[in-house]
């Protein structure tokens, strides 16, 4: 496993590899991370796991206009621009958003991924 910690930004992908239409999944430090882009070009990154019942979120509908992702299992809705808040249940807990660092020169997207045992 990668020995990165929360203070080490990890390269996820390039900005032009993320579209507003479809979330992109990458694996960083053993964590499945989903990257979504809003219609305004803001990038959100979070673990690909619903806080309700641990179902992967990557097949859920993403609305770039509202920056909201719907869980494909029980239709909980997470509001990314509100810190990953569960705006519609049954999920109660928010998604944990990772800090996105974008290197403007080459469009490289890097994330700070905090693993549970590092907190």
Contacts with 82 (C-beta within 8 Å, 6 or more apart), sequence order: none
Give the nearer residue to ligand FES in terms of CB position, either 55 or 79: 55
> Burial level of 74, CB count in 10 A (0-12/13-18/19+)?
middle
Site string for ligand FES, 70-109 (x = CB under 6 A): -x-xx-x-------------xx------------------
Decide if residue 52 touches ligand FES (CB under 6 A).
yes
Cα–Cα dist 70/76, whole Å: 6
Give the nearer residue to ligand FES in terms of CB position, either 74 or 112: 74
Give the nearer residue to ligand FES in terms of CB position, either 26 or 57: 57
Closest CA to 74 of 88, 94, 84: 88
Residues found near ligand FES in the complex (CB under 6 A): 50, 52-53, 55, 71, 73-74, 76, 90-91
């Amino acid at each position: 496993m990668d020995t990165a910690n929360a203070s080490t930004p990890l390269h996820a992908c390039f900005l032009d590899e993320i579209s507003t239409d479809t979330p992109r999944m990458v694996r960083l430090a053993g964590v499945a991370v989903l990257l979504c882009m809003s219609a305004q070009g803001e990038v959100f990154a979070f673990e690909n796991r619903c806080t309700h019942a641990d179902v992967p979120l990557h097949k859920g509908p993403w609305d770039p206009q509202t920056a909201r992702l719907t869980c494909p299992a029980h239709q909980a809705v997470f509001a990314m621009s509100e810190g990953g808040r569960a705006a519609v249940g049954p999920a109660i807990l928010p998604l944990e958003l990772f800090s996105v660092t974008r290197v403007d020169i080459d469009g490289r997207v890097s994330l700070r991924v905090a693993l549970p045992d590092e907190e």
